């Protein structure tokens, strides 16, 4: 290797180290990081992170490598600290190696979306109900951010599937509380008559099964579904 090439490599390494040094000394409010369940410090790390205000996180156990192998189970955390701190200070506080921590420079919303891989069709799509937080406001921000981008037809289908999969009678009031809990109230309200009809039909099917009643609606629906599957 020529001396010129060696010098270029040395300069590149030194520039990288200088950049990392400056980065570790910069104070930030928002961070993104990962911790692994097989780390012997995991319990201490998880406890320290969930004690911070404010934190939001999710467990990933379905991520794949480029070779199609499952990655080690791990937790993604997004932090929005009340007081800015450096990477090194944060790493020491939560017992996480500095290289596992990244300051969120561009899009905090993007970091929140990535918790469930929202908008990344090339990755496993996690359920938003798997996301946890120690800050209700941050959790609402995440849910609003993701749910507002879900098309209404998908919300309607999700509510309908909930009704269809119920094994007993459904009370409309209970259903209303459920859709509020999952933040689908906007779609539920705009399609109220449709869902009322679905609930009535569902409860009629339950009665037909329970009392062995010949139900014209139930029989016609069974025939229709069988036709669709052909």
Q: What percent of the chain has pLDDT over 70?
A: 81
Give the Cα separation of 129 and 179 in Å (integer): 13
Helix (H) or strand (E) holding 24: helix 3-25
Tell me: pLDDT of 135 over 90.
Answer: yes
Instruction: Check pLDDT > 50 for residue 154.
Output: yes
How far CA 5 is from CA of 8, 9, 19, 127, 134, in Å, comes to: 5, 6, 21, 50, 51
pTM above 0.75, yes or no: no
Would you state the pLDDT for residue 15?
A: 56
Q: State residue 223's pLDDT score.
A: 52
Instruction: Find the range with the poorest average confidence among 101-110, 123-132, 143-152.
Output: 143-152
For the chain, the average pLDDT equals: 84
Question: Residue 124 has what pLDDT?
Answer: 92
Of the chain, the percentage scoring pLDDT greater than 90 comes to 48
- Compute the residue count for the chain: 230
- Give pLDDT tens digits for 165-204: 888 999 988 899 888 877 788 889 999 999 999 999 999 8
Gap between the Cα atoms of 46 and 34, Å rounded: 10
| Cβ-contact 179, 188 below 8 angstroms | yes
Residue 132 contacts by C-beta under 8 Å, 6 or more apart in sequence?
56, 57, 58, 139
Confidence of residue 115 (pLDDT cuts 50, 70, 90): very high
Q: How far is CA 22 from CA 25, 74, 75, 88, 105, in A?
A: 5, 28, 27, 11, 14
Beta strands in 53-178 (DSSP E): 55-60, 74-85, 101-103, 132-133
Q: Look up residue 22 and give its DSSP letter.
A: H
Q: Which residues contact 134 (CB under 8 A, 6 or more apart)?
A: 50, 51, 52, 53, 54, 55, 56
> In this predicted structure, which of 4-8, 60-64, 81-85 has the lowest mean pLDDT?
4-8
| pLDDT value for 10 | 47
**pLDDT tier for residue 22 given thresholds of 50, 70 and 90:** low
């Amino acid at each position: 290797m020529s001396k010129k090439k060696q010098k270029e490599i040395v300069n590149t390494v030194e520039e990288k180290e200088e950049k990392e040094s400056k980065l570790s000394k910069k104070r930030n409010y928002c961070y993104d990081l990962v911790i692994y369940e097989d780390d012997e410090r995991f319990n201490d790390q998880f406890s320290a992170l969930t004690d911070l205000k404010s934190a939001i996180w999710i467990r990933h156990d379905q991520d794949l490598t480029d070779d199609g192998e499952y990655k080690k189970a791990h937790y993604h955390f997004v932090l929005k600290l009340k007081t800015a701190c450096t990477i090194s200070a944060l790493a020491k506080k939560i017992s996480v190696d500095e290289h596992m921590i990244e300051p969120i420079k561009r899009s905090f919303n993007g970091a929140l979306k990535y918790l469930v891989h929202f908008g990344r069709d090339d990755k496993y799509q996690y359920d938003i109900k798997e996301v946890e937080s120690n800050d209700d406001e941050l959790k609402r921000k995440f849910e609003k951010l993701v749910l507002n981008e879900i098309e209404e037809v998908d919300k309607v289908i999700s509510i309908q599937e909930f009704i269809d999969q119920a094994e007993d009678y459904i009370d409309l009031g209970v259903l209303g509380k459920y859709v509020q809990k999952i933040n689908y109230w906007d779609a539920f309200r705009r399609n109220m008559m449709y869902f009322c009809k679905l609930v009535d039909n569902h409860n009629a099917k339950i009665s037909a099964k329970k009392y062995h009643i010949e139900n014209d609606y139930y029989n016609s629906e069974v025939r229709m579904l069988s036709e669709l599957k052909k």
